[in-house]
Structure 1
Amino acid sequence: MSKLDSLLAIPVLDRSNQPRIQAAVDGKAKPPRALGRIEELAVQLAVIQKKSLPSVRQPQLLVFAGDHGLTRSGVAAFPSGVTVSMVDTLLAGRASANAFARVVGARVSVIDAGVAADLSDRRGLIHAKIAMGTQDASKAPAMSTDQVISGLLAGADIATQAIGDGADLICLGEMGIGNSSSAALVIHRLAPAPLEICVGPGAGHSPEGLAHKHMVLAKAAARTDAAEPLEVLTQFGGYEIAMMAGALLASAKAGVAVVVDGVICSAAALIALRLAPQALDYCIFAHASVEPGHRVIMEALEAKPLLDLDMRVGEGTGTLLAIPLLQAACALLSDVADLKDVLEAAS
C-alpha cells in the first residue's frame, strides 16, 4: 500500500456510543433540543473523541501559505508579494488570526507550502515548500502529479506532528494571493457547478477586475476536462490547498476533529472528501464565507456552517471564532446538571 493509499484508508466513524451520548445530552437540565446546534456539536465531539466527556483544551491552527501562477494572468487585486508580507505578519503575531488565537487560547503554526520567495531565514516558520509557487493554470497544469502527492503527504505529516504534540482540535487556515481563483476552479469541477457561480471577488476587485478574473478562469477551465479529485488538484490547485487536504485526511485518520475555515479551506476539504468521503464525519465547518463558491461547497457536501458573520479574510480566522462554541458544547456534557437531579431537588 502506498503512503497515499494509507492516508485515504480512514475508518468509518464508530458511532456505537452515540445513543448513550445523545441520551446524556437529552437528559441535561434544559428543554429537549433547546440548545440546538450546540447539542449536535457535543454529540459529534464525544463520538469523534470516543469519550463521554469530550474536551477542547489544545486547539491548533495550521496556516498554510502558497502562491499561484494564475496571478501572472491578472486574476488577483494584489501582487503575489503580499503573500510574503502576510506570512511575516503572521510570524510576528500581528495578523487577525494571531489576535483571535490569543483570545481563544489556540496555538498558531505557519507553513510555507509553496510561497514564491526564499523564506529559509524566517524563524518560527515550518519549511515545507514544494516549489516557488504553482504554474499559471490558464496555460498549463498548476502542479505535477508528484508535487500534488508530496503536498498531500506533507500536510498529513504536519497535522500528525501537531496531534502528536498534544493538539486535540485541528483548525485549517491559509494565505495566498490568487488562491480564490484556484478554489473556484476546484469547486467548479468537484461540486460540480457552473464556473460563473463559483467565482467571487477574493481579496477585492473592481467590476472590471472581476470580469477579467472570470475570463481567465474560463480559459483555464477550457484547457482541460479534469474531473477526478487528484487530477483537478493537479490542474487547478495550489500547494497550500493540497497540504490542507492532506492535513484534514490525517486528522480524521487520527480521530481528531477538524475545523474548516472559508472558501479556500472548504475547497481543500472538498478535494479531501471526494478522495475519502468518510472523513466528513470529522469535519466542522466554521462559518459561511461571503465568497459565492462557499455556498456551492456547502450544498454539495450537505454541510451547515456554524457562524454567518459576512467574513472572507481567510487565515483560519473563522475556525478560531468557532472554538468557544466547541468548548461550550463540551461544557454541556461536563458541567450542566442532569434534569433528573433538578427534579429530585424540587420534589
Structure 2
Amino acid sequence: MNRGRPIIQKNMNFEQALQHKIDSRTKPIGSLGKLEDIAFKIGTVQRSLTPELHKPTILVFAADHGIADEGVSASPKEVTYQMVMNFVHGGAGINVFSRQHGIALKVIDAGVDYDFPEGLGIINAKIARGTHNMLHEPAMSTETCRKAMDKGAEFVRKEHENGCNVIGFGEMGIANTSPASLLLHKFAGTPIEECVGKGSGLDEAGVRHKYEILKRIAAKYTPVTPLETLATFGGLEIAMMCGAVLEAKRLNMIILADGFIATSAFLAAYEMQPDILDNTLFSHSSDERGHKQMLDYLHGDPILHLNLRLGEGTGVALAYPIIRSALIFLNEMSSFEEAAVYDMEKKNRPQA
C-alpha cells in the first residue's frame, strides 16, 4: 500500500523530488545502500515518485555455434538442445528461480541445430541451425544478424503489449562464451587473454586451446561497424538479445542484464545506442573471466556478487526480489513526518 503523496517542495525538479522522497523515509540517509540507487534509477526511468514493476518476464534465447567444432567447450553441442528440453520441462536453474519469484519465462529457439517437436512450448524463431565456424568464415552475414535482432525486438514488443514493463534476458548455447569473449575484445579493446575463461568447465589445457583458437579468429577479421562486429563474432541468441535490448529501451522498459554472454549483447547494443544504460540494471557479477571487464567498460554496478556462471538468466531471477524491495521501501515506508519520528538529518535536506 502506498503511503500517500510525498510532501515535495515546489522549487524542486523531478530528480530532486525523487531523491527527497528516498531520503525522507524513516531511515538515515543512504542507509539502504544500493536499494536507494535502484529506486532512484527506476523512478527516474518511469518519471514517477511511485514507480511500479508489472509482469516481470525473462526471455531465454537458445542457439548453436559453429565454433563448437573447434573444441572450445567442455560440453558437446548436443547439450544445447538437451538443456532447452530441460527448460520447457521446468527442471533448469532458471525455471526454479523464476517460479520462486513469480517471473514469466519464455524459451525461444533462435538457432538450435535440432528440430524440436511441436507442442512443447518452445517458441520457434530459428533463423539458421547455428552460426558458421568463425575460424573459417564470419559467424553470420549482416543480413542474418539484422534479422535476428529484429526478431528479438518483436518478442519484446509482444511482452510490452501484454503489460510487461520489466524484462530480463537469458541464453543457452554451447560454446557461446567464445563469441562473448571476442565481442569483449573487439568492442572494449580488452586483451584477448583477459577475455577467455573456462566456460562450462574447461581445464587449464582446454582454456589454453580456446585462447589460441580465439586469438587466431580475432586476428582474422577487422569489422568496422558495431553491426558488422556482432555479425562476425556473435551468435544468433546474442544478436536476438541485442535487438531485444534496443527495443526495450525504445519502449522505456526496465532492462535486466544477466552474466557474461547476456552482457555481451548489452555491449553490442551499447555500441549501437549508448543510452540503453539509462534503463539497465546489471543483476550480478559473473565468475566467468571477462565479465568484470564488461561491467567496467559499461560502468555497470552489479546488484549481486555470488560467483555465478550458469547463465540462462539465473542472475536476473535472483536479483529481481531485491529490485522489488527497492520499490517497496520507496512506496511503503513512512516518512519521518508521517510517522512522527524526529528527523535528525532534516537540515541536510533541500528546503522550500
Q: After the TM superposition, which residues 221-260 of structure 1 pair with which residues of structure 2 at under 5 Å, given as runs?
A: 221-260=218-257
List aligned pairs for 1:45-124, cutoff 5 A: 45-119=42-116, 121-124=118-121
- Alpha-carbon separation, structure 2, partners of 1:199 and 1:160: 34
Q: Where does 1:12-23 land on structure 2 (aligned, <5 Å)?
A: 17-23=14-20
Q: Secondary structure at the match of 1:292?
A: coil
* 1:187 maps to 2:148: no
Q: Distance in 2 between matches of 1:340 and 1:142?
A: 60
Count of aligned residue pairs for this structure pair: 331
Deviation at 1:206, TM superposition (A): 1.4
Mapped partners of 1:262, 1:199: distance in 2 = 14
Q: Residue 11 of structure 1 corresponds to which residue in structure 2?
A: none
2:165 aligned residue (165, 168, 173) = 168
Task: Determine the C-alpha separation between the residues in 2 that align with 1:318 and 1:326.
Answer: 12
CA distance in 2, matches of 1:96, 1:180: 18
1:191-340 equivalent positions in 2, closer than 5 A: 191-340=188-337
1:100-153 deviations in Å (ceiling 9; x for gaps): 011100000000011111125252111111100000011110001100000111
TM-score, reference length from structure 2: 0.92
SS at match of 2:241: helix
**1:142 maps onto 2:135 in alignment:** no
Contact 2:177-2:260 at 8 Å conserved across structures: yes
1:70 and 1:95 mapped to 2: Cα distance?
Answer: 25
Aligned match of 2:8: none
Hey, what's the Cα distance between the residues in 1 that align with 2:40 and 2:67?
42
Partners in 1 of 2:328 and 2:219 — Cα distance? 51
| 2-structure distance, mates of 1:114, 1:239 | 6
Is the contact between residue 245 and residue 255 of structure 2 (CA under 8 Å) also seen in structure 1?
yes
Q: Quick one: which amino acid aligns to residue 17 of structure 1? A: F
Identity %: 38
Q: Give distance in 1, aligned partners of 2:47 and 2:241.
A: 25
Cα RMSD for the two superposed structures: 1.3
Deviation at 1:168, TM superposition (A): 2.1
Compute the displacement of 1:344 (Å): 5.5
TM-superposed CA distance for 1:222, in Å, is: 1.3
- Cα shift at 1:53: 1.1
Give, in whole Å, the separation in 2 of the partners of 1:175 and 1:197: 23
**Which letter does structure 2 place at the counterpart of 1:280?**
L
Which stretches of structure 1, 4 residues or longer, exceed 4 Å deviation after superposition?
A: none
Structure 1 distance, partners of 2:192, 2:117, is: 37
Structure 1 residue identity aligned to 2:337: K
* Structure 2 gap ranges (5+): 1-12, 344-352
C-alpha displacement of 1:46: 1.2
Q: Secondary structure at 1:270's aligned position in 2?
A: helix
Measured in 2, the distance between the counterparts of 1:176 and 1:344 equals 54
Task: Give ranges in structure 1 of 5+ residues lacking alignment.
Answer: 1-15
Q: Is the 8 A contact 1:138 1:219 kept in 2?
A: yes
The 1-side partners of 2:184 and 2:219 are apart by 15
